[in-house]
Structure 1
Amino acid sequence: MSTPEEVVDQIAALFSGEGGAEYLGEPVTQAQHMLQAAALAERDGAAPALVAAALLHDVGHFTGAVHGRDLMAGRDNRHSHQGADWLGAWFGPEVTEPVRLHVAAKRYLCAAEPGYFAKLSEASVYTLSVQGGPMSEQEAAEFEAGPHAADAVRLRRWDEAAKEPGADDPGFEHYRQLLAALVRGSSMTPST
């Protein structure tokens, strides 16, 4: 069994390695995008688990059998599910379920909130089409009824806003203690 520090080291390696790659047609790297999302969550006073979910929401682009490049080539890589499943080895549902649902939240918001679609970047519009498009009324109602829907919607809003080149973020090390404290079995106390 890995210690919390070993888990965080493994995640840090993703940020410093694959995280330096282009973020699917956006003007930031994948690591910058996730760090910006976490900084926005922290700024908005989100609970530590939701800050962690914002930080880790796109790890499925790194950890799955199908890479993010496949998504841009028209094949849904289901990165939200792959990332949540991978994170589930160490984190509870308060972290993994907003990650799992962040793509569904985009589909939900495009169906439920007039004007949300217009806020999407060109790349996000494209991936929405690959991921199933806006939800139907029935799908939206089912999504809303889920226990993690509200957190997933908050995460989605940070996700969409976290694509600013040159935006200031505190860097991965800023979140090390927060992540370690959330690893199952950790005796640490999360802080933001």
Structure 2
Amino acid sequence: MTQAPKDLTPDTIVEFLASIFERRGGEEYLGEPVTMGEHMLQGATIAEQNGQPDEIIVGALLHDIGHFTSEFGTFSMDDTEDRHHEDAGAEVLEQFFPTVVTDCCKYHVAAKRYLCATKPSYFERLSEASVHSLNLQGGPMSAEEVAEFEQNPNLKHIIAVRYLDEAGKIAGMETPDFRHFAPRVQRMVDAHCGRSA
């Protein structure tokens, strides 16, 4: 199980993330027709093709990184409780990325619950695996949870990444690899950490 090294720095975080994609990106993704790596690369590729800002592209690229860094391991269709991969991922990212990117990771599960509560048609878009995980994650939000979630200043970015999460499940879709996005990721790290390019 990959654990985030304690000595990660702005100089090593991008290489660490690249190594996760290269070593573990081929692992099964929640019963979907794509691997974990393909799923995240598809979301980032779709965002890039649609001219989305770096925050959304990088947010989509890294939103599920917690599946690889979590001590709870990877979700499976046999799970009977949530593994909170979103929190594990955000914990790794928060010291190197702006809050908007971290929030896209930390709250992409909440965004699914939010959209199921506020846009009934959204539920119809969910795959069988996504419905299964929704049930483990608490189901659609209550009215009180919706009101609280809408206070997040990064709500629009989080929702955008959530839609990319659902879109990135296309069997056979060709995408660039992580290295294609690495310079963009590094620029975001450098800007957040106050380093000049």
TM score, norm. by length of structure 1: 0.92
Change (3 A) 1:2 1:84: closer
Q: What letter corresponds to residue 187 of structure 1 in structure 2?
A: S
Residues 69-117 of structure 1, C-alpha deviation per residue, up to 9 Å, x if partnerless?
A: 3675122111111101111121120210111110000000001002110
Partner of 1:156: 162
Residues 125-182 of structure 1, C-alpha deviation per residue, up to 9 Å, x if partnerless?
A: 0000000100011111211121111111110000001000111212111101001111
1:87 and 2:93 correspond: yes
Residues 1-34 of structure 1, C-alpha deviation per residue, up to 9 Å, x if partnerless?
A: 7554521110011101122100010010000000
In structure 2, how many angstroms separate the alpha carbons of the residues matched to 1:31 and 1:159? Answer: 12
State the Cα distance separating 1:49 from its structure 2 match. 1.9
Determine what percentage of the aligned residue pairs are the same residue.
45
* Aligned with 2:28 (options 22, 25, 34): 22
State the Cα distance separating 1:43 from its structure 2 match. 2.0
8 Å CA contact 1:25–1:123 kept in 2: the answer is yes
In structure 2, how many angstroms separate the alpha carbons of the residues matched to 1:67 and 1:132? Answer: 19
Q: How many residues align?
A: 188
8 Å CA contact 1:34–1:58 kept in 2: the answer is yes
In structure 2, how many angstroms separate the alpha carbons of the residues matched to 1:6 and 1:121? Answer: 35
- The equivalences for 1:15-94 within 5 A come to 15-69=21-75, 72-94=78-100
* Unpaired segments ≥5 residues, structure 1: none
* Unpaired segments ≥5 residues, structure 2: 1-6
* Aligned with 1:97 (options 76, 99, 103): 103
Where 1:119 maps in the other structure, the secondary structure is coil
In structure 1, how many angstroms separate the alpha carbons of the residues matched to 2:8 and 2:88? Answer: 20
8 Å CA contact 1:70–1:76 kept in 2: the answer is no
8 Å CA contact 1:72–1:127 kept in 2: the answer is no
Change (3 A) 1:118 1:57: same
From the two aligned structures, give the one with the greater helix fraction.
1
In structure 2, how many angstroms separate the alpha carbons of the residues matched to 1:71 and 1:92? Answer: 32
* Aligned with 1:126 (options 119, 122, 132): 132
* Aligned with 2:195 (options 148, 161, 186): 186
Q: What letter corresponds to residue 87 of structure 1 in structure 2?
A: L
Change (3 A) 1:65 1:151: same
